[in-house]
């Protein structure tokens, strides 16, 4: 196998997998279920075979990738149209803490121990089991929790405070480069941005690692 052939097959395989992920959607990346994990392994193996096995041609791999993608899409259609299939094909969340008590059978069923449970809780900024009223293990392996009232974060309604407008921050500089589309979307230009940078002690865009703008607040800048 020549280097050129390897390069061609790698590029074709990359493009095929790229379009596969585009077709299947972001949920294949952000919510890895058991089936999605298997799918990722199979797709990677298909492309790998084309690269290192002289008997496997790239057109056969493209056919296999296309067929596998079609099967996954078919399952997505089935789970959307027939709700009763979701439990079998996608699984369902498991309650592992109920009313402050660990559900031992649920832990055992999901192959979890207490140390692993503590790790999952810490990913949600919970460092003590006594803080949790309910905890659910999601189908993608993440955990969702409902804290006991004494440990729950207070809201504005708890203090009878009026609601405030929620504003989304806009990133305008990353690694010294101006994101022009974002800058124009908030109605400013580079001249305005330069004046803002000078007021924060930055002479050039390249001096700024990160900058964001938020309505009603001054620009936030992190310099190198």
Domains of the chain (ranges; CATH) run 3-87 (no CATH), 94-151 (3.30.240.20), 170-223 (3.30.240.20)
188-203: per-residue pLDDT in tens? 999 999 999 999 999 8
Length of the chain: 224
In three-state secondary structure terms, 107 is helix
Q: Give residue 49's pLDDT.
A: 67
Please say whether the beta carbons of 132 and 122 come within 8 A: no
Q: What angle do CA 98, 100, 103 make, to 5 degrees?
A: 45
Give dist(CA 117, CA 205) in Å, integer. Answer: 45
pLDDT the model gives residue 27: 46
Q: Is residue 50 packed enough to be buried (19+ CB in 10 Å), middle (13-18) or exposed (0-12)? A: buried
**Within its chain, how far is the Cα of 207 from the centroid?**
30
**DSSP letter at 56?**
S
Report the alpha-carbon distance of residue 59 to residue 156 in Å, rounded. Answer: 59
Taken in order 39, 41, 45, 48, the sign of the CA dihedral is positive
pLDDT of residue 30: 46
Q: Which residues of the chain have pLDDT under 70?
A: 1-3, 5-6, 9-10, 13-14, 17-18, 20-44, 46-58, 60-61, 64, 87, 89-90
């Amino acid at each position: 196998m020549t280097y050129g052939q390897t390069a061609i097959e790698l590029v074709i395989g990359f493009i095929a997998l790229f379009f596969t992920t585009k077709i299947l959607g972001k949920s294949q990346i952000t919510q890895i279920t058991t089936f999605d994990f298997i799918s990722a392994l199979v797709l990677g193996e298909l492309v790998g075979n084309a690269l290192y096995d002289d008997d496997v041609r790239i057109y056969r791999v493209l056919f296999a990738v296309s067929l596998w993608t079609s099967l996954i899409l078919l399952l997505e259609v089935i789970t959307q149209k027939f709700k009763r299939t979701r439990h079998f094909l996608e699984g369902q969340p498991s309650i592992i803490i109920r009313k402050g008590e660990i559900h031992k059978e649920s832990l055992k069923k999901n192959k979890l121990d207490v140390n692993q449970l503590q790790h999952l809780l810490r990913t949600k900024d919970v460092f003590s089991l006594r803080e949790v009223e309910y905890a659910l293990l999601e189908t993608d392996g993440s955990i969702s929790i409902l804290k006991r009232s004494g440990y729950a974060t207070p809201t504005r309604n708890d203090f009878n405070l009026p609601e405030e407008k929620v504003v989304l921050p806009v990133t305008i500089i990353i690694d010294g480069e101006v994101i022009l589309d974002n800058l124009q979307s908030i109605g400013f230009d580079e001249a305005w941005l330069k004046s803002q940078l000078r007021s924060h002690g930055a002479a050039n865009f390249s001096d700024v690692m990160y900058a964001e703008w938020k309505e009603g607040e001054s620009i936030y800048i992190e310099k190198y």
